[in-house]
Structure 1
Amino acid sequence: MLQLLDHPQNDIYLHIDSSAKGWDAAALQTSVRQGTLTVLSKFRPAWGSEALVDATLLLLATATETPHAYYHLLSGMDLPLRSQDEIHAFFAKAEQAEFVDFKTETVSTDLLRDRLQTYHFMQSARQRYPLVRKLDDLSLRLQSLLQVNRRKCCTVRFQKGSQWFSITQAFAEYCLAHAAEYRRYFRFSKCSDELFIQTLLQNSPFLANRFSREYDDEHATMRFIDWDRGTSSSPYVFRSEDYDRILQSGMLFARKFDERVDAEIIRRIAQSVSNR
């Protein structure tokens, strides 16, 4: 993916899981010859953990040291579907819109209760260790019995959506300036990466700048993601037979791709983008 993102106008900031082994910074640098690549490795962003928010804020803090028109959050399982010149042209016409997804107009009480009302002290480790999962479940049940409610005196209006976004310099700076204020609501939470940026936008002067005012709209982020064939916690991994559907989606990016599942679809899309 780095080669497809490489462009003289692009500065790439890559965060690698701090527990990852065997990666070579020098080898990564060889994939970026026209733009710049900055590699960070500070957090271990386990599924559903607040470290995902921390890693996002670290990337934004590092990237905004040099002003940019837009900041695009992508995962290592994403691919661009258009050339970088086409993507730049699209965002140049976007009139400083914020590409942030809202799933619904109002977040359900059940979802907020599950993710934010109690303290998920062991969220970062519960996926790896069965004993930790049992202890965390016990902690959550005890908090429920004690009627713990972290949101009781909170006046913030929460929002939820896809964690992948494209945001302007101005909103990125706003997020960093107000991160500490909002971060406390998400400390020891569950899956806050789908709530943090959305909640900041919902309670900011930038709310009116949302590119799409619709809900659960893929145009909100210009990313093609197939949840219909996925699971409750992960979107569908594209295969070669999805090639035409992906390129005809009209989106700028797509996910999820995994070379262990189907390397051919990655090769074909990379070739298509390179030839544009």
Structure 2
Amino acid sequence: MWLIILLLPFVPDLLHVFSSAPRDLNFIDHTSDLGWKEYHRVQPIVVDPEIYLARRSQIFYGRERRKTPESFKFFTGSPWVILSRSFLEFCILGWDNLPRTLLLYFTNTVIPQEGYFHSVVCNSPQFQNTTVSSDLRYMEWDNPPQMEPHFLNLSDYGRIASSGLPFARQFRKDDPVLDKIDAKILGRRSRQVVPGGWCTGSGRLWMDRCSLWGDLTIVKPSPRAEKFGKVMKKLLADWRSRSSSCK
């Protein structure tokens, strides 16, 4: 079992940092340089068995392949995305045929979550310059890279803590590094929630700070938000310096 971990103490840190960014930005790690994915991910035709089977099994590959599309540019990247409301409304309400057309195409694509939103946003004149190419996750890849990043452990803790990123993956269940993240980064005690500005308890050793609630809407960033703020500032500077954020 693998886990994705939030490295910020509760939601206020996220709200605090994201409030400094334009609301229409989409954080999508993306590229049009397909490399090996063109043959192994783009061209195969697949059928998801969930469409017609009660029990999910492995996807079925068609005997034929299809050419890399020419009517739109295929983008790929991380499946972990943070999308703006305006872009999601564009995809859902469908006032343009692009999201629906690409949805039909990606229905028969291997791992469509690594390409659908990336291709929609970068082929839309309205949204193609709203992309920040980052999934805001700390990961460690083997050399050469494998299909998945390796499982993080105690030896990775220093790099995780200094990264300033709000998320990290992947972890094994009950790995000791999770206890260290709880104690050192999140300030979470055993069997207690991550404390936030809404906690009004005394915080003594025998008392849970969050056993008493204050204003649940309060946004009180922790020191960890400062590190994430520096990461966000650099990402926004890189985004503003480019003539086009879809490459």
| TM-score normalised per structure 1 | 0.56
Q: Distance in 2 between matches of 1:94 and 1:149?
A: 40
The alignment-based identity, stated in percent, is 22
Matched, 1:224 2:141: no
The residue that corresponds to 2:129 in the other structure is 208
Q: Distance in 2 between matches of 1:105 and 1:251?
A: 24
Q: Structure 2 regions of 5+ residues with no counterpart?
A: 189-221, 223-247
Contact 2:28 2:135 in 1 (8 A): yes
Q: Distance in 2 between matches of 1:114 and 1:177?
A: 32
Task: Read off the aligned partner of 2:121 and give its amino acid letter.
Answer: L
Which one has the largest radius of gyration? 2
Q: Larger relative CO (CA 8 A, sep 6+): 1 or 2?
A: 2
CA positional deviation for 1:189: 1.8
Q: Distance in 1 between matches of 2:170 and 2:81?
A: 15
Contact 1:230 1:237 in 2 (8 A): no
The residue that corresponds to 1:167 in the other structure is 83
Alignment of 1:254-273 (within 5 A): 254-259=168-173, 262=175, 264-271=176-183, 272-273=185-186
Q: Distance in 1 between matches of 2:91 and 2:81?
A: 13
Matched, 1:197 2:117: yes
Matched, 1:77 2:8: no
Matched, 1:89 2:16: yes
Q: What is the DSSP-based 3-state SS (H/G/I as helix, E as strand, rest coil) of the residue aligned with 2:77?
A: coil
The residue that corresponds to 2:46 in the other structure is 120
CA positional deviation for 1:169: 0.8
Q: Distance in 2 between matches of 1:188 and 1:245?
A: 38
The residue that corresponds to 1:149 in the other structure is 66
CA positional deviation for 1:119: 1.7
Q: How many residues align?
A: 177
Task: Read off the aligned partner of 2:79 and give its amino acid letter.
Answer: Q
Q: Distance in 1 between matches of 2:91 and 2:179?
A: 36
1:202-227 Cα deviation digits (max 9, x unpaired): 11221211234xxxxxxx12211112
Contact 1:159 1:195 in 2 (8 A): yes
User: 1:177 and 1:107, CA in 2 relative to 1: closer, same or farther beyond 3 A?
Assistant: farther
User: 1:98 and 1:88, CA in 2 relative to 1: closer, same or farther beyond 3 A?
Assistant: same
Q: Structure 1 regions of 5+ residues with no counterpart?
A: 1-74, 213-219
Task: Read off the aligned partner of 1:269 and give its amino acid letter.
Answer: I
The answer to which structure has the higher helix fraction is 1
